[in-house]
Amino acid sequence: MTTSRARHRRIGYAAVSLAGLLVVTGCATQSTGGSAAGAGEPRAVQAPGPGWAERTLGKLTLEQKVGQLFVADVWGKSAHEPHASNREKYGVDTASEVVRRYQVGGVIYFNHGGTDNIDEPGQVARLSNGLQRAALSSGAHVPLIVSVDQEGGRVTRLGDPATEHPSAMALGAGRDAPVARAAAAVSSSELRAIGINQDFAPDADVNSNPANPVIGSRSFSSDPALASEFVAAQVEGYQNSGPATETVSSSAKHFPGHGDAATDSHTGLPRIDRTEQEWREIDLPPFQAAIEAGADSIMTAHITVPSLDPSGNPATLSKPIITGLLREELGYDGVVVTDSLQMQGVRELHPDSEIPVLALEAGVDQMLMPPDLELAMNSVLDAVRSGRITEERIDRSVLRILKLKEKRGIVAAPLVDERAVPRKVGTPENLATVQAATDRAPTLLRDDAKLLPLRDPGKVLVTGWNSPDYPGYPAEPVDALADALGPFATPLPTGAEPDAAAVEQAVAAATESDLVVVLTNGLANDAGQRDLVHRLLATGKPVVAVSVQEPYDPGHADVPTWLATYDWRSVSMTSLAKVLLGEHAPQGKLPVNIPAGDDPETIRYPFGHGLTW
């Protein structure tokens, strides 16, 4: 670590002394005891009233203002649970100590694939309350923005027993924006019930590149108009489906548009070679729609777009893009938040000490997950003290953040009622709403063999892609689909990148079956999966192939019966089973073009295609 003990003392001093002053003077009207929220409905910290954000800003020290600019990733399922990673990164043992020491403006949760914050809804509510109490007892006395990436599909942090959601592209295939709005409303209410008040969703990228390694089915569509309609619907669902204290802030991402990337910005800096006019026609519309719908925040992309800024800087650090386009041309005055500052895309050209300062100079407000929080905070403090950045510039960003907290009811009700979680999360009504939305998604691309719907199918083998090690969530669609189909279906997962032995085992099982359903995910880059599909076809048994993530697999294998679900979660496998069994006719329409193999100019299945019966 580059962090020094001297820097620990430098950042921590004001927090300790001011927190003590607040305890003595009794400024907090909210109890900071451990049982307040569990014993009944939590009381408000204070009635914010007109001008709360401005008054609060005037009371903060420079160090506290800088703290408000950052969103920290903290480890552990409890606010008071010691975790070695907190000690390694922050010099303290617990998540609550991180909040008190640095007086950050927000925290972000990940599940077991990351910082291990999420187990089940009641536990998350307790964690949220514990961290809010830590913030309220610190010197700044300002509640936290508690964030999460809960897009649906593969970007899901909170799963069962909460309501699971399909991917954005699955909703786009369903072609019903009010249904997408209702799904967002379900997610919003459930997240807020467990103390999460900001969701980094919806994804406003237009997935125009079928080979995009990081967006894909996270996007609603490759069509700007369709993507715009659904982005606006989901922003409204997240933010306007109930009182402010019962909904979450949305964050449209990743501006100015990650949909044409050929590189994953987690591992490199993507270059987008669109002309400015192409960007305006393709990538811009969903962000305009999000702004018009009132999105509380916009997340930046770690991509370089030479036509918009020839400097080569990633958009996150680009003043022409963030200030020139987003702030001035589009008139956006909400919170602009970076994508994670731990990603290589933003670290490719500049040291970690320079990145937060450049982001502020570009026009960003909120900085997410710096790799070294103390270094980042001290870099900003040094920039102010040296005159490179004015304190007035810091004030503009902090005021936007405080206004978001006030607007979203975080100030009025920072704590949640832990006892109410079971009756608000994963309810039958919520499950039914999202299942109905997901049922619209399965898209029948081809059924030359006239296999569907299945009539007396006999013994069915369900095989193919199954990845228990999928980051952050066990992906077991083979098992989920077999369960949904019933006792005549036998699961035999081959995993991702099946080897020769796994393929031989599946082929042997297929010869003993009457019909095979094979799930695929990423055929273009997986020779083992392609071999599996070809070998299953060679058995002569009827084969139904299903692309369970990005819908582009049918362009890489000539199977007479193809479907796409855009997602592999249980909710999507349930919808697929309904279609296979004829309980529900396929309704999905392709929200993208599917090219023939790697040739983007030859379209095998066009946008809008989808068969039914």
Residue 12 pLDDT: 41
415: DSSP letter: S
**Domain end call among 389, 424, 459:** 424
| pLDDT beyond 80 at 88 | yes
Residue 92, domain member (yes or no) = yes
Classify residue 435: in a domain, yes or no: no
Report the candidate in 200, 191, 116 with the shortest Cα–Cα distance to residue 151: 200
Q: Is 80 a catalytic residue?
A: no
Does residue 429 belong to any structural domain of this protein?
no
Q: Is the pLDDT of residue 112 over 50?
A: yes
Q: What mean pLDDT is reported for the chain?
A: 92
Residue 600's pLDDT is 86
> 482 falls in which pLDDT band (50, 70, 90)?
very high
Annotated catalytic, 534?
no
Q: Return d(Cα 81, Cα 59) in angstroms, integer.
A: 31
Q: Report pLDDT for 474.
A: 78
Q: Compare 468 and 254 and report the one with higher pLDDT.
A: 254
Same domain, yes or no, for 43 and 150?
Answer: yes
Tell me: the pLDDT tens digits for 562-573? 999 999 999 999
Same domain assignment for residues 77 and 203: yes
124-171 residue pLDDT tens: 999 999 999 999 999 999 999 999 999 999 999 999 999 999 999 999
For residue 472, what pLDDT band results from cuts at 50, 70 and 90? low
Better-predicted residue by pLDDT, 218 or 35: 218
The residue segments making up the domain with residue 587 are 442-605
Alpha-carbon torsion angle 237, 238, 244, 246, nearest 10: 100
Considering 176, 199, 283, 339, which one is annotated as catalytic?
A: 339
In a shared domain, residues 378 and 500 = no
Same domain for 453 and 418: no
How many CA atoms lie within 13 Å of 135's alpha carbon, on the beta-carbon side?
25
pLDDT reading at 3 higher than 90: no
Number of separate domains in the chain: 2
What DSSP assignment string belongs to 435-456? HHHHHT--EEEEETT---S-SS
Say if residue 213 is in the same domain as residue 108. Answer: yes
Range in 45-54, 85-94, 272-281 the model is least confident about: 45-54
Task: Give DSSP secondary structure letters for 103-166.
Answer: --SEEEE--TTTT---SSHHHHHHHHHHHHHHHHTSSS--PPEEEE---BTTB-SS-TTSPP--
Q: In this predicted model, what pLDDT tens digit does every residue of 396-441 receive, in sequence order?
A: 999 999 999 999 999 999 999 999 999 999 999 999 999 999 999 9
Strand, helix or coil at 582? coil
- What CATH number is associated with residue 249? 3.20.20.300
The pLDDT-based confidence of 23 (bands split at 50, 70, 90) is very low
Quickly state the pLDDT bin for 545 (edges 50, 70, 90): very high
Highest mean pLDDT among 2-11, 471-480, 487-496 belongs to: 487-496
Over 70: is that where the pLDDT of 10 sits?
no
- Of the pLDDT bands very low, low, confident and very high (cuts 50, 70, 90), residue 39 is very low
- Statement: the pTM of the whole predicted model exceeds 0.75: yes
Active-site annotation holder among 80, 266, 350, 609: 266
344 shares a domain with 296 = yes
